[in-house]
Structure 1
């Protein structure tokens, strides 16, 4: 019986018609590429710590992780940039002995004219209308009330004393990232209709940010509890060495990493780092991970690093699910506020940051940041020599897609097959494969991947593809798989070699075929 049945017995005697259904040639590879946001929750959060859970709305995030918490704010930034793809949250407990960040807004003089205070906390606009009859105490109370009325802010406010003129701000969550909460006035300036009311004296935290926040989360239990659940795009806002190391180990190429041969889960880590040009260069120079991409942004941006990280991961997920090989450049990070024009990185700074393993952003025509280059932190090989093999997020994203396609084809079409040498004469329909059949399958899959814009150069792929039986294990096939990943249009360089007039008497090759050569003697 040449046809290999999986279920119908070969010795069946009962008539008549029996059928088994085989889906091995019908299915297409499908996988739900989830995002995961990692951040600190408030002490009164509903969700258990260190356990990921799916989130479908901002209301769910606020309830699960606490309004104004780092993680809830990350979801606010995520949903502003991605409303369609599945996302989970991984809440972290406030670190042991951690401290909240604090700051003070002081009212030193009452206004001489009515107006509006345009206060921004963590990039959120908080307008406070004041009258000329308001005292400094009245204004301080109005500021505190306006802040507390916006319950999703990452701070709470209290007037320092009854009738006092100072407003004390305290972060809603405790961690070092609370120091990234900005406090500023008049983000859009007078051109945007924002200016401080005449005569009003108001002071803000000296650095423009809350300070004194301490504590970095411990990720051990949170990472362990992820188990084998697939999470492709992780927004992880902590950029200290220990945190980056822990997530690199989970997602890297070690035996137990998600890119390792045992787990084959794949995935990427997205983060963001605020800093001066010099500080970011030093920071980037010490990094080297193929799976981590950290967006560099200016000190003067009002938006906190954890919201930058969430927005970056959201746009990456949305774009790479559609096509993992397309560059992320020009994708806008919605609701992220850029630094003022004179405080933004210039061309030289951006180019150097990208050359030092940091993703970079530019400002688009809508005055919002957009991804300029999705650089990973990978810069050198195992011997410390410069290497660009993994420098772009799209490289591993494309490779993950290819490997998943290949795995689906092999596991769907050959789940219970016998293995024979090429040239073996066996009946049609037998569940038998040979190295040649497998090679043909891989070439066919490569052609499909090329049609879908993931790879190129089929002829050289065929030339270097090797499929062979293992000399020491007759039940094993070894494959050397050499895909040529498609590249991206990232640089368009033009040499504008202009002329004031072509010299028609010298170079007749430049003259069109319907135009006779210029005759210098006759002038015709």
Structure 2
């Protein structure tokens, strides 16, 4: 005769005497697949006073015109929204705008015209990657051409600058006060076939002199209890990056439970990017840098965030190589980093990209800024962005599975009578078995490899000092990616 199992009911009293049939309905999670992952992106950018948004307040964004209205046309925040939505229109997107710093200084630059156009043509001016075409008539006066340029700039509210000046000079002033204005690229004739009308010369003085940045801490405080999986920020000064990486580390910790990964863009020479990356060391921050790209760094950050949010939610262990950053303008051929420079940048925490024949910017290797252990020993454990993303996904799934399956279970020793006969009891061995089953699922998903070995090396045990505590060391081996194929091609001489 089989022994009786003590069944545990949630809704039916154990001593109910009224006749009838009473049936509880509850789910079984025995064959539960991977839990859905709620990917949520957050963009933090600078807003203009013309925007209707309250600074440091989260807004859920579904349309570009909504972002322009909230943060102001031509703002850094609106440009970030445009870049993100060009790359990803399906992920849940929230944005926070921060006002210009009160003591900020706006960057300025200029266009100085000279000569006389000997033929009609179109002057193709580009500001922050946006094309501003100006028709020039043969023999036109410089004052008239300059006035036409100022009018064309004023006609495009999405440009990040305003235009003023007199005679043959056009003064460009960043709409934002702050160092962001120094990163606004101004150039002529970017596309094949574009050329300044013969006889006309335009001298460009790049925007400079911008100073100051908002405090990203105000935005982080606004989301203190909210979970966002991917965050893009517009500023890369040391103070803001320190605040950001400290927040990310706290969120990723066991007691934080708000895992997030952040993205930021840099503009500068090879040396400047290498120095900026080498000064950082966070497994939760990704920097991507370019030299002399028409697109501003905050657009790079937002586009990368959009791509990563979508694809790493679909498969956190799969590299992002070859994926395009839509709408991001590639640097000119002479400004692109060589393979050797790319390799060195990857050793300094800077992610890299390639440029396809059609001019599309395609990701090469997306890494974190983590480079050394806490004891300053070179360490590649957290090199690729897939590592923290995969571990976040596994932790989320395992925590959710345990919460669903063992929400009200009691804890007993292996082999105890309660473990054998009671229904709502779990033991270290049973939890180890559940971990083994989930690892097999993770292995089939292509997140980890060699699950049998890692499960065998995992340990589950009851605490010696707290009978209500189950302790575990759970081993996983994150799957690799095909980054390099090194081969020796031999031939017979």
Superposition TM-score, scaled by structure 2 size: 0.96
- Counterpart CA distance in 2 for 1:96 and 1:15 is 75
User: CA offset at residue 462 of structure 1?
Assistant: 2.4
- Counterpart CA distance in 2 for 1:102 and 1:75 is 24
Q: Indicate the larger mover: 466-475 or 127-136.
A: 127-136
Residue 479 of structure 2 is matched in structure 1 by 486
User: CA offset at residue 200 of structure 1?
Assistant: 1.2
- Counterpart CA distance in 1 for 2:139 and 2:349 is 55
Give yes or no for the alignment of 1:110 onto 2:99.
no
Which residue, 123, 129, 146 being the options, matches 2:129?
A: 123
Residue 347 of structure 2 is matched in structure 1 by 355
Residue 2 of structure 1 is matched in structure 2 by 6
Which residue, 221, 224, 235 being the options, matches 1:224?
A: 221
Q: Indicate the larger mover: 376-385 or 103-112.
A: 103-112
- Counterpart CA distance in 2 for 1:281 and 1:107 is 36
User: CA offset at residue 428 of structure 1?
Assistant: 5.4
**Are 2:46 and 2:234, in contact at CA under 8 Å, matched by a contact in 1?**
no
Give the alignment of 1:152-191 within 5 angstroms. Answer: 152-158=158-164, 160-161=165-166, 164-188=167-191
Residue 438 of structure 1 is matched in structure 2 by 431
**Are 1:120 and 1:183, in contact at CA under 8 Å, matched by a contact in 2?**
yes
* Deviation readout 1:386-416 (Å, 9 max, x if unpaired): 1111111100000011111100110000000
- Counterpart CA distance in 2 for 1:458 and 1:137 is 73
Residue 295 of structure 2 is matched in structure 1 by 303
**Are 2:115 and 2:201, in contact at CA under 8 Å, matched by a contact in 1?**
yes
Give the alignment of 1:343-422 within 5 angstroms. Answer: 343-422=335-414
What RMSD, in angstroms, separates the aligned Cα atoms of the two structures?
1.5
Residue 136 of structure 1 is matched in structure 2 by 142
SS at match of 1:445: helix
- Counterpart CA distance in 2 for 1:282 and 1:200 is 40
Report the CA distance shift for 1:31/1:458 in structure 2 as closer, same or farther (over 3 A).
closer
Residue 79 of structure 1 is matched in structure 2 by 85
**Are 1:326 and 1:394, in contact at CA under 8 Å, matched by a contact in 2?**
yes
Which residue, 279, 284, 296 being the options, matches 1:286?
A: 279
**Are 2:317 and 2:390, in contact at CA under 8 Å, matched by a contact in 1?**
yes
**Are 2:121 and 2:197, in contact at CA under 8 Å, matched by a contact in 1?**
yes
Structure 2's unaligned 5+ residue stretches are: none
- Counterpart CA distance in 1 for 2:241 and 2:152 is 37
Give yes or no for the alignment of 1:461 onto 2:458.
no
Residue 508 of structure 1 is matched in structure 2 by none
* Deviation readout 1:289-344 (Å, 9 max, x if unpaired): 1111111211x211111111111111111110110000011111111111111221
- Counterpart CA distance in 1 for 2:116 and 2:330 is 31
Residue 197 of structure 1 is matched in structure 2 by 197
User: CA offset at residue 88 of structure 1?
Assistant: 1.0
SS at match of 2:96: strand
User: CA offset at residue 49 of structure 1?
Assistant: 0.6
SS at match of 1:360: strand
User: CA offset at residue 134 of structure 1?
Assistant: 2.5
Which residue, 219, 223, 236 being the options, matches 2:233?
A: 236
Residue 513 of structure 1 is matched in structure 2 by none
- Counterpart CA distance in 2 for 1:235 and 1:31 is 19
Structure 1's unaligned 5+ residue stretches are: 501-524
User: CA offset at residue 81 of structure 1?
Assistant: 1.1
**Are 1:293 and 1:374, in contact at CA under 8 Å, matched by a contact in 2?**
yes
Residue 208 of structure 2 is matched in structure 1 by 211
**Are 1:35 and 1:86, in contact at CA under 8 Å, matched by a contact in 2?**
yes
**Are 1:353 and 1:359, in contact at CA under 8 Å, matched by a contact in 2?**
yes
User: CA offset at residue 51 of structure 1?
Assistant: 1.4
**Are 1:33 and 1:230, in contact at CA under 8 Å, matched by a contact in 2?**
no
- Counterpart CA distance in 2 for 1:79 and 1:213 is 28
SS at match of 1:395: helix
| Dislocated runs of 4+, deviation >3 Å | 426-429
SS at match of 2:251: coil
SS at match of 1:127: strand
**Are 1:296 and 1:353, in contact at CA under 8 Å, matched by a contact in 2?**
no
Which residue, 141, 149, 155 being the options, matches 1:149?
A: 155
Q: Indicate the larger mover: 439-448 or 229-238.
A: 229-238
SS at match of 1:258: helix
Give yes or no for the alignment of 1:425 onto 2:417.
yes
- Counterpart CA distance in 2 for 1:465 and 1:202 is 68
Larger radius of gyration: 1
SS at match of 1:195: coil
* Deviation readout 1:467-486 (Å, 9 max, x if unpaired): 00000001100010001111
Give yes or no for the alignment of 1:342 onto 2:334.
yes
Which residue, 64, 68, 71 being the options, matches 1:62?
A: 68
- Counterpart CA distance in 1 for 2:313 and 2:422 is 37
Residue 51 of structure 1 is matched in structure 2 by 57
Residue 329 of structure 1 is matched in structure 2 by 321
Residue 265 of structure 1 is matched in structure 2 by 258
- Counterpart CA distance in 2 for 1:33 and 1:281 is 31
- Counterpart CA distance in 1 for 2:179 and 2:482 is 39
Superposition TM-score, scaled by structure 1 size: 0.90
